[in-house]
Amino acid sequence: MKFFEVPYVASQIPAGDYSLGRGANCQRYAYAVLAYFGIVLPPMRSSDLWEDTTFTSYVTGPLMPLDLVLFGPGEDPYGAHVGLWTGPDGVLHLAKSVGLPAIWDLDQFAALPEYRVCIGAKRYIGGAAGQGS
């Protein structure tokens, strides 16, 4: 399946494999794209990803391609929307409201109540679960 043809399916959460044949939610989609580039993370939900320091670190400087970016209605990472920084064009993500993957700039996220807060970003740093770059 091509990455831009994956349908949004809320029930397809991260669960240990990142196949996209049955669709995906935002986290499963982001992790599958990372796996395509050799970065394999454990199946963490957004709040677990935000708290993780074994496989990822908080991004405090400029974002780099494939950094994980979290959005929500507020600062709480529980249930946050997850996407991947693509560079100056924005964030690759899979959202229920669109139904298929899209690249949005930060202003597009800020315009919607459910994504108005950019909680922050995480960067893969290695670890036993990943192949890493």
Is residue 95 assigned to a domain? yes
The torsion angles phi and psi of 84, rounded to 5 degrees, stand at -120, 130
- Give the torsion sign (CA, 44, 48, 52, 58): positive
**Which CATH number do you get for residue 7?**
3.90.1720.10
Residue 56 lies in a domain: yes
Asked whether residue 130 is domain-assigned, the answer is no
Residue 94 resides in a domain: yes
pLDDT in tens, 63-116: 999 999 999 999 999 999 999 999 987 999 999 999 999 999 999 999 999 999
Burial (CB < 10 A; 0-12, 13-18, 19+), residue 12, is buried
| Predicted TM-score of the model (pTM) | 0.91
Quote the domain boundaries for residue 14.
Answer: 3-124
Inside any domain, residue 131: no
Q: Tell whether 20 is covered by a domain.
A: yes
Question: What is the number of domains present in the chain?
Answer: 1
